[in-house]
Amino acid sequence: MRRVTVFDYGAGNLHSLVKALAGPDVVVRVETDPASALDGDALVLPGVGAFGAAAERLAPGRAAMAAALEAGLPCLGICLGMQLLFDGSDEGSGEGLGVIPGRVRRLTSARVPHIGWNALEGIAGGEEDALLAAAPLDVVYYAHSYVCAPRTGETVRAWTDVDGDRFPALVRRGRTVGVQFHPEKSSSAGVRFVHAFLASIPAAA
């Protein structure tokens, strides 16, 4: 069995995400305390809410969570959850986890927020991420106004483009993965991506 914890910032309905994560060999629980959220085989940071409010909820356990991810706790950050992996955001005050160096900026496209389906671009000449190799994605669903700007490009595993504004769609550092899109809302292909992440988690004894 794999024990997966969804950290709830108190910002939205997590039903579709919990449903996508659920499986016969997966136990999913939702936790509002950031320190208690580390008691599991993997952590999921969901994608609903504003950075400042989420960072405030994260603050009491920020150092412990960052240390756990640095030590190898598998983590999937979705949309806002991906942005919390970075140092900070132009959207609001508070610190992110700083696991991926960089900052979150406002989307510069003509359409803000960006809501809807958009193509996923792999890295030309680069190695395909293991999750995309296991669960290929073509178009995925987005709902956001802010995007991530890593300090270096080596963490980026896929890109997307909206009205000429190109930004990371998927980042990875070790076992920490962030996606700007919502896999739980990206039809069956997105759910397969979530299950590929779950399959990469070492099973508990």
pLDDT digits (tens, 9 = 90+) for 59-68: 999 999 999 9
Asked whether residue 204 is assigned to any structural domain, the reply reads no
Asked whether residue 180 is assigned to any structural domain, the reply reads yes
Selecting among 79, 91, 144, 148, the annotated active-site residue is 79
Query: Is residue 204 over pLDDT 80?
Result: no
Query: Is residue 124 over pLDDT 70?
Result: no
Asked whether residue 21 is assigned to any structural domain, the reply reads yes
**What range does the domain containing 40 cover?**
2-199
8-28 pLDDT tens trace: 998 777 999 999 999 999 999
Total domain count, the chain:
1
Asked whether residue 119 is assigned to any structural domain, the reply reads yes
Print burial letters for 28-48: b (CB count within 10 Å at least 16), e (below 16): beebeebeebbebbbbbbbbb
Q: 123 falls in which pLDDT band (50, 70, 90)? A: confident
Distances (CA, A) of 25 to 21, 22, 75, 204: 10, 8, 18, 10
Asked whether residue 171 is assigned to any structural domain, the reply reads yes
Is-contact 105 147, C-beta < 8 A?
A: yes
Is-contact 46 19, C-beta < 8 A?
A: no
Selecting among 91, 114, 148, 182, the annotated active-site residue is 182
Strands 176-179, 139-144: pairing kind: unpaired
Asked whether residue 18 is assigned to any structural domain, the reply reads yes
In this prediction the pTM is 0.95
CA–CA separation, 198 vs 24, rounded Å? 12
Question: Catalytic: 148?
Answer: no
- Tell me the CATH number at 70: 3.40.50.880
Asked whether residue 205 is assigned to any structural domain, the reply reads no
pLDDT (0 to 100) of residue 126: 66
Question: Catalytic: 79?
Answer: yes
137-180 pLDDT tens trace: 999 999 999 999 999 889 999 999 999 999 999 999 999 999 99
Structure tokens at 26: 């997966």
Residue showing tokens 């936790």: 31
Query: Which amino acid, one-letter code, is at 149?
Result: A
Selecting among 144, 148, 184, 195, the annotated active-site residue is 184
Question: Catalytic: 128?
Answer: no
